[in-house]
Structure 1
């Protein structure tokens, strides 16, 4: 595998946990430190490639939901509005820090992005997407009882889970293409985009109570933009077989079929694998999953898990 040619379009999907890491305080200074680190990695790619960047918002949207409940005189804002707020918040921070690291004349634009979903998606009946902070079991049981939340295991604790319908269409695609054609680094579809659905077969769009998986949205966006590669940058170095055991092995290269045949944690690495495999199968171009710190090596197949239809089975690091 050789490095991509200069000026090719690369889609980079930043995980929410790459911006607010597990166990860290969810305050503005901590997030800014992590955003600056992410921006430094992305800016290095921007010197030789056209870039579209997406990002997660799970920790941020969950925190906003909790903050909103501290003022009971106003009903809590719905998740689509909170998603738009976090898309603007994280997008602003990324835009500023990436722009600070680019030469004069190279611009960055953040695009508020609606993403259409299907109201009949079964995900609305089975919440699986973790958002917000982790709780211990006693606090989680209290939240489930008092607020009707669904709580799911994540790491050493439990987190609120909300519906995560599959993205159907990126509604800002033409605007994204126009900005890319002008040579801008584009930040869009943050948090999977703002979830909207039609009111009827040909009705208007309106927001829905959900959080779209940002990796699946990034894969859809990358396919529609004909990106040469999808990079899913997260807080783990690769996809592992037998994760969490003494026999864990990092997968260096994989075919989509072999990778998706593995038992993987739903709501965690599984959506990243699904997104990478969808992109690789649909385009014939590679996707890679790995650490943000290794971003340049990810593009060369020297780090992370490289997913390609040109691979056969699984190859371990």
Structure 2
């Protein structure tokens, strides 16, 4: 939901969303019922920066609140871009396991880069920060989604004829305490794993993961690099085990596609945004097909 150069200026975000929704509108025009989810990395990072810059004026809000805010903002922009197609945004909570090992090893970087002096100040507040090439950055847990809690209203809206925007940014991460009450947690849920969970929860037959490239690539960065076309889950698992998909980029997309098909989905497609309609028809993209 940003410009090709990564700009998250409001005008650039609006243009990027409008461009993206032209392709979604094509799918809807061909008779597909669509549930949309999206990332929120730059947007939630900007809210965190505002938190830090204005902490002496207004109390900072927790990370789960920041995620909920981005769902509303991006959802509204998506609905405007789709108009007059009926669309609705569901503020979506995603249940995670408080015992997920990710909470003991936060690795998901969020927000801006800071100096070591600034990072130490935030560490004193209980945050986890790590050093990267460009400076210090906050890292948080990235637990696996257990359940999309607000799938039922999303399904009801789809059955009523709406295109639904849900689980934006992976969903607002929540846990249940011993008394069964829900509480937000400081975490970021991977958007690809959340997309798989949402697709399963709404009963989708196809999962489409839009990215920057038309195919997943085997042997990326080598002379033997080749695009991956139509494959079975078994074939894709072999490529995965051989280490063809980087954990910080294509890896989560491939794993989400595999899980969706292995757990009952008809097929999962990985392709560039411009090609989503053609990819569903089988003309381009990487398609993981259920084995007959």
Q: Same fold (TM over 0.5)?
A: yes
* Pair 1:147-2:127 in alignment: no
In 2 relative to 1, CA 43–143 (structure 1 residues): closer, same or farther, beyond 3 Å?
Answer: farther
Query: Which residue is equivalent to 1:289?
Result: 270
How far off is 1:296 after superposition? 0.8
TM-score with structure 1 length normalisation?
Answer: 0.82
1:181-218 Cα offsets, whole Å, 9 max, x none, are: 10110111111111110112x42001000011111111
1:223-255 Cα offsets, whole Å, 9 max, x none, are: 122211000011222211232344432211233
* Pair 1:224-2:204 in alignment: no
In 2 relative to 1, CA 310–141 (structure 1 residues): closer, same or farther, beyond 3 Å?
Answer: farther
1:1-317 matches, cutoff 5 A:
19-21=1-3, 23-47=5-29, 48-73=31-56, 74-100=58-84, 102=85, 107-132=86-111, 135=113, 139=114, 141=116, 144-148=119-123, 149-151=128-130, 160-200=138-178, 202-256=179-233, 257-263=237-243, 264-310=245-291
In 2 relative to 1, CA 38–132 (structure 1 residues): closer, same or farther, beyond 3 Å?
Answer: farther
How far off is 1:79 after superposition? 1.0
* Stretches of structure 1 lacking an aligned partner (at least 5 in a row): 1-18, 312-317
Q: What is the rounded CA distance, in whole Å, between the counterparts of 2:286 and 2:137 in structure 1?
A: 27
TM-score with structure 2 length normalisation?
Answer: 0.88
Query: Which residue is equivalent to 1:314?
Result: none
Query: Which residue is equivalent to 1:7?
Result: none
Query: What SS does structure 2 have at the residue aligned with 1:227?
Result: coil
In 2 relative to 1, CA 284–35 (structure 1 residues): closer, same or farther, beyond 3 Å?
Answer: closer
Q: What is the rounded CA distance, in whole Å, between the counterparts of 1:286 and 1:157 in structure 2?
A: 41
- Conserved 8 A contact 2:116-2:136: no
1:4-25 Cα offsets, whole Å, 9 max, x none, are: xxxxxxxxxxxxxxx1156432
How far off is 1:109 after superposition? 0.5
* Stretches of structure 2 lacking an aligned partner (at least 5 in a row): none
Paired residue total? 282
In 2 relative to 1, CA 171–142 (structure 1 residues): closer, same or farther, beyond 3 Å?
Answer: same
Does 185-194 or 259-268 show the bigger shift?
259-268
- Conserved 8 A contact 1:259-1:273: no
1:256-290 Cα offsets, whole Å, 9 max, x none, are: 32343242222322111111110010114100111
Which has the bigger relative contact order, CA under 8 A and spacing at least 6?
1
In 2 relative to 1, CA 142–274 (structure 1 residues): closer, same or farther, beyond 3 Å?
Answer: farther
